[in-house]
Structure 1
Amino acid sequence: MPQPSTHPSTHLRRRTLLAGAAVGSAALLTSCSEQPAASDDMDSAAGRTLLDKGARDSGALLARYDATLTAHPGLERRIRPLRDEVARHIAAFEAPEATGTPSATPSATASPSRAPGRQRAPEVPGTEKKALAELADAERHTADLRTAALVSAPPEVARLLASVAAAGAAHAHLLEARDEHDEKDGKNA
């Protein structure tokens, strides 16, 4: 059986492909409906509450990514695309396309100070491996919260939550995938 490549660019391509697929599915799901009720869903009290919480949760993830990048600049290539997607999630929650309100294209390099609910920077473990594991746990936890919120979400808000939850689950997988692969290579060496 052929061994998977351990070349860093191979991992980057897989990560880029999965992240791109998550972004594409989020865009597709949030723009599918042309129904006038979509705006009502986003503007309802329940919808607005869930969107505000989604923006705050994404803001907390963005702060964690930024703190990790500050503590471990060597992870830049690996986690910057995921961090930038989280910044786009904030913009999607703040000005969802389904409302029909034109919004500016969100900056993927948005300042973390713009993130809703921004508090002090989270603590980051001293090793890259542990920092990645904590990022993966935070992504998974946030995706689980969003999935649980689907039960009470209006339809258009539920689509956005589901899309962003799927992206978060993909992020968690990507953050862990390389370490699992590296451990297998170490056992086979």
Structure 2
Amino acid sequence: MTRRRSLLLGGGALGAVALLSGCSDEPESRREADGGADVALLRARGARDSTALLARYDATVDTHPDLAERLAPLREETARHVAVFTAKGRSPSPSATASRSPSAGGRRMPEVPKDEKRALAALAQAERQTADTRTAALATAPPELARLLASVAACGAAHVYLLTQRDTDS
């Protein structure tokens, strides 16, 4: 792995862990609790979107095993996002799990291009769309959930960068 990529992954992972653990370990804010159905819906969407990204990572690695090492840290972060969105008994469905399974909880696995570069581009596009969706949701989210959405969207943007970066210095 290149020095720049190692530093970016290490720094991003450390920041994400700090942000996510801070958000998930603190008690629910009063305003978030008052949001009720809206908060539950935003959390369910967050979990669903992260679960879909997780399935895309798994399908990409299944199609291109040589990418497994490169994608492992990004997949782990995405699995943590699923866990954070479903924390405190708020799981949107029993199939929203961060564990890897061949059938992806009974869902159809996403199609992955046979060309490795196109597969990475498709994964980056899925990350970009998810980050954009989370950024748009900030306008209606209560403060605690907005912080979570913002940090997960920023993590997704970092994933896009890492997936689209050329290996010029390797």
Given residue 125 of structure 1, which amino acid in structure 2 is its aligned partner?
Answer: P
Match of residue 146 from structure 1: 134
Q: CA deviation at 1:78?
A: 0.5
Match of residue 30 from structure 1: 23
Given residue 159 of structure 1, which amino acid in structure 2 is its aligned partner?
Answer: R
Quick check: 118-127 or 161-170, which moved more? 118-127
Residues 29 and 159 of structure 1 are in contact (CA less than 8 Å); yes or no, is this contact kept in structure 2?
Answer: no
Aligned length: 163
Q: Compare CA radii of gyration and give the structure with the larger one.
A: 1
Match of residue 156 from structure 2: 168
**How many angstroms apart in 1 are the aligned matches of 2:29 and 2:8?**
36
Match of residue 56 from structure 2: 64
TM-score of the aligned structures, taking structure 1 as reference length: 0.74
Q: CA deviation at 1:36?
A: 4.6
TM-score of the aligned structures, taking structure 2 as reference length: 0.81
Q: CA deviation at 1:50?
A: 0.1
* Runs of at least 5 residues in structure 2 that lack an aligned partner in the other structure: 91-96
Match of residue 157 from structure 1: 145
Residues 20 and 84 of structure 2 are in contact (CA less than 8 Å); yes or no, is this contact kept in structure 1?
Answer: no
Q: Deviations over 1:77-115 (max 9, x none)?
A: 110110111011001000159x9xxxxxxx96x124797
Q: CA deviation at 1:175?
A: 0.8
* 1:11/1:66 CA distance change after superposition, 3 Å: farther
- Aligned-residue identity in percent: 47
**How many angstroms apart in 1 are the aligned matches of 2:135 and 2:7?**
25
* Pair 1:132-2:120 in alignment: yes
Given residue 27 of structure 1, which amino acid in structure 2 is its aligned partner?
Answer: L
The structure that is helix-richer by fraction is 1
Residues 19 and 151 of structure 2 are in contact (CA less than 8 Å); yes or no, is this contact kept in structure 1?
Answer: yes
* 1:145/1:61 CA distance change after superposition, 3 Å: same
Q: Deviations over 1:111-159 (max 9, x none)?
A: 247978x630111111211111111111111000000000011111111
CA RMSD of aligned residues (A): 2.9
Given residue 111 of structure 1, which amino acid in structure 2 is its aligned partner?
Answer: R
In the TM superposition, structure 1's runs of 4+ consecutive aligned residues that sit over 4 Å from their partners are 31-36, 112-116
**How many angstroms apart in 1 are the aligned matches of 2:152 and 2:132?**
11
* 1:175/1:18 CA distance change after superposition, 3 Å: farther
Match of residue 48 from structure 1: 40
* Pair 1:122-2:126 in alignment: no
Residues 47 and 153 of structure 1 are in contact (CA less than 8 Å); yes or no, is this contact kept in structure 2?
Answer: yes
* Pair 1:90-2:82 in alignment: yes
* 1:22/1:122 CA distance change after superposition, 3 Å: farther
